Amino acid sequence: MTASANALEQLQIAALAADEKQGDDLVALDVSGPLPLTDVFLLVTGRNERNVLSIAGEIEDKLIAAGHKPLRREGRSEGRWVLLDFGDIVIHVFHEEERTYYSLERLWKDCPVLPIELPERAGSASE
């Protein structure tokens, strides 16, 4: 099984939104094989609680503006791990420490990594 076109569209919107708010270490996993309820996990790291909340808010706003409805939100009060469930895609926005501790990439290591296309950040090109 592979991720649906709708999930891939949501992934691109969410990844661009996360990148706009300086989300780091974006990883998208195709979990459609082992999980019947969703197709894609997007993992994003924020530098601190405020950044985590900012990233999650931007992702949610952009997906809603594109016509996608959130099913569930968790973790907004602490800003350490915010989970946004949009059905075909589940976005995990982690604080750096939680990302390392829970290590979802390791738990889902058998799932294919999906490509994410992001614009170059100013000053990020190596010379």
Say if 64 falls within a structural domain.
yes
Distance, CA of 27 to CA of 112 (rounded, Å): 10
pTM of the entire predicted model? 0.90
Model pLDDT for residues 38-69, shown as the tens digit of each residue: 999 999 999 999 999 999 999 999 999 999 99
Is residue 119 a part of any domain in this protein? no
Q: Does 50 fall in a domain?
A: yes
Question: In the numeric block, which tokens belong to residue 53?
Answer: 């909340």
How many domains does the chain divide into? 1
Residue 31 in domain: yes
The answer to whether position 121 is within a domain reads no
The whole-angstrom separation of Cα 89 and Cα 98 is 20
Q: What CATH number did the domain enclosing 86 receive? A: 3.30.460.10
Residue range of the domain that includes 80: 5-114
* C-alpha to C-alpha distance for 112 and 127, rounded to whole angstroms: 31
Residue 93 falls inside a structural domain: yes
Question: What are 71-88's pLDDT values in tens digits?
Answer: 999 998 888 999 999 999
